């Protein structure tokens, strides 16, 4: 009489490997790719004059287009020392107390907002952070205002950062350039209407998803470890 073979059980090591792979996939795909606002310069040296700064805000809302980009200027650049060079059709620049805003008719949904300004002179610094508040048609607001300290990883909603090279030996500060006020703290950065945006008004893609992905990944790791331990004990009892 032939003995019946018991159905083979998945090996604990194989199960653990599959769980680890699934956890890595969850962590990689839990949060959608975040949009950013980037800045580039025609001359990235400290104390450079008549520099063109170009800002590009990546669209993150497929259902509404940009209507306004507000920028907080870093210390050393006064709102009066900035002129608009290029912007979407119909958009205009307006100075604010701590920087400027540029806006106009809503862009097409999914279209990036790009504009350029001319700065009379860059300050003597190693880097410049331009805290930016993006407004979409319908009132949705995204804030790119977080500045990482030296040695820290990039924050979830980073402000556009321009790194500067050393100033030429013969460069001197322009006496006509007035010092701008210090940027407001991140928690006080206003929206385009001058009011502090609520958490509900901020970007949906910049904060919650990464934390959810980490929690899911940890839970999967814990379940995989418990299942492997259960299989090992079950095998030792037979």
| pLDDT tens digits for range 164-217 | 999 999 888 986 544 444 434 333 344 434 444 444 334 444 444 444 455 555
Alpha-carbon distances of 92 from 38, 70, 87, rounded to whole Å? 20, 12, 8
Measured between alpha carbons, how far is 65 from 115 in angstroms, rounded to an integer?
Answer: 15
SS3 labels along 192-212: CCCCCCCHHHCCCCCCHHHHH
Measured between alpha carbons, how far is 110 from 112 in angstroms, rounded to an integer?
Answer: 6
Q: What does the longest C-alpha to C-alpha distance in the chain come to?
A: 103
Cα 67 → chain centroid: 19
Tens digits of residue pLDDT in 140-155: 999 999 998 877 888 8
Q: Does residue 106 have a pLDDT over 80?
A: yes
Other CB atoms within 10 A of residue 74 CB? 23
Supply the pTM of this predicted model. Answer: 0.62
């Amino acid at each position: 009489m032939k003995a019946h073979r018991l159905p083979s059980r998945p090996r604990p090591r194989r199960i653990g490997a599959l769980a680890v792979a699934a956890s890595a996939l969850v962590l990689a795909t839990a949060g959608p790719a975040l949009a950013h606002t980037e800045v580039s310069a025609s001359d990235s040296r400290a104390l450079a004059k008549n520099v063109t700064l170009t800002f590009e805000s990546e669209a993150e809302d497929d259902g509404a287009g940009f209507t306004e980009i507000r920028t907080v200027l870093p210390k050393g650049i006064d709102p009066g020392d900035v002129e608009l060079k290029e912007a979407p059709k119909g958009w205009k620049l307006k100075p604010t107390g701590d920087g400027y805003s540029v806006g106009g008719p809503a862009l097409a949904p999914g279209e990036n907002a790009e504009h350029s300004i001319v700065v009379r002179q860059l300050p003597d610094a190693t880097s410049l952070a331009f805290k930016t508040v993006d407004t979409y048609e319908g009132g949705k607001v995204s804030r790119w205002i977080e500045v990482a300290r030296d040695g820290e990883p990039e924050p979830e909603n980073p402000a556009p950062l321009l790194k500067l090279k050393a100033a030429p030996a013969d460069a001197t500060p322009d006496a006509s350039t007035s010092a701008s006020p210090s940027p407001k703290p991140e928690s006080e950065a206003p929206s385009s209407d001058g009011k502090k945006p609520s958490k509900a008004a901020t970007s949906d893609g910049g904060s919650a998803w990464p934390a959810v992905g980490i929690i899911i990944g940890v839970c999967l790791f814990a379940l995989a470890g418990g299942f492997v331990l259960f299989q090992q004990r079950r095998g030792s009892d037979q």
